[in-house]
């Protein structure tokens, strides 16, 4: 009898251990309940070369802003979580929660740069970051950054990475920015930016055939701190306008709508 009781206790212990282990794995190594980290979601912004973007409205029932679909399209308006309405003021936010916009809560933000970018145009990335710092309330970006050839676009690894990569096959995609956030806290937790390596990058002030690195970096860093693209033709001079071309440099400096937008997110 004692032997049977002992075996029963051992079997129960094994079953309980297996169940607990399964729960811990499902919870990414954390207990369920208060200790479990909230799930993260992401937004992907695609920056298109002018004339290459997919049709503004593909009417397939799926909102696909990452493929160039305009936020005003019916597919986006009818979804459960439509992106923000197009801004007649030429600025827009990532937030999908009314007036509670997605943003960083802890500033300044640090970032890591692949050495190929640094070699392309010295200081282009940091100058683009500083342009946002000039007009925001608090400092958004650290003044110094880390150079690391191991960083990669699209890895949720704790690094805000800026990389060269041939990540997308579409010849019209200039760059992309992925932003991870917590829907529970409305907090941005990480961003990655890739500059597509099939373009000739450099300083377009001296060569109009180059895709200007500082121009595109300033735009993409705007996504990294919470601003969305605008596509209205009347907004074509602002930094967050969603299309670019070789030789363009006007996104290097913020326009009034960009400044209004960043100050609404990060006021004095």
Alpha-carbon dihedral sign for residues 262, 266, 267, 268: negative
8 A C-beta contact, residue 48 and residue 65: no
**pLDDT tens-place values along the chain, 268 residues long:** 434 433 343 333 333 333 333 333 333 333 333 455 569 998 889 999 988 765 556 666 677 665 556 555 666 654 444 444 445 689 999 865 445 689 999 999 999 999 999 889 989 999 999 999 999 999 999 999 999 999 999 999 999 999 998 888 788 999 999 999 998 999 999 999 999 999 999 999 999 999 999 999 999 999 999 999 998 889 999 999 999 999 999 999 999 999 999 999 999 8
Nearest to 148 by CA among 166, 132, 160, 139: 160
Q: 258: Cβ–Cβ under 8 A, 6 or more apart, which residues?
A: 91, 135, 222, 227, 238, 239, 240
Distance CA 261, CA 84 (A): 13
pTM, two decimal places:
0.77
Task: Name the architecture of domain 41-265.
Answer: 3-Layer(aba) Sandwich (3.40)
């Amino acid at each position: 009898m004692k032997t049977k009781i002992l075996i029963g206790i051992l079997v129960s212990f094994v079953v309980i251990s297996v169940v607990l282990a399964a729960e811990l794995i499902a919870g990414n190594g954390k207990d369920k309940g208060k200790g479990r980290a909230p799930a993260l979601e992401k937004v992907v912004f695609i920056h298109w070369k002018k004339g290459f973007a997919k049709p503004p409205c593909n009417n397939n029932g799926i909102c696909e802003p990452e493929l160039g679909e305009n936020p005003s399209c019916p597919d986006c308006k009818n979804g459960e979580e439509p992106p923000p309405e197009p801004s007649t003021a030429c600025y827009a936010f990532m937030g999908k929660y009314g007036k509670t916009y997605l943003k960083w809560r802890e500033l300044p933000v640090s970032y890591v740069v692949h050495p190929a970018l640094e070699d392309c145009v010295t200081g282009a990335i940091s100058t683009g970051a500083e342009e946002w710092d000039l007009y925001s309330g608090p400092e958004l970006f650290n003044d110094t950054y880390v150079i690391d050839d191991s960083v990669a676009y699209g890895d949720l690894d704790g690094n805000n990475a800026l990389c060269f990569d041939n990540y997308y096959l579409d010849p019209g995609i200039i760059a992309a920015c992925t932003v991870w956030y917590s829907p529970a806290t409305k907090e941005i937790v990480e961003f990655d930016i890739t500059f597509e390596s099939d373009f000739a990058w450099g300083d377009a002030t001296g060569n109009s055939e180059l895709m200007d690195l500082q121009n595109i970096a300033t735009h993409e860093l705007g996504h990294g701190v919470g601003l969305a693209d605008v596509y209205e033709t009347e907004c074509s001079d602002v930094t967050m306008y969603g299309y670019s071309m070789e030789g363009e440099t006007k996104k290097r400096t913020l326009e009034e709508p960009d400044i209004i937008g960043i100050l609404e997110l990060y006021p004095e």
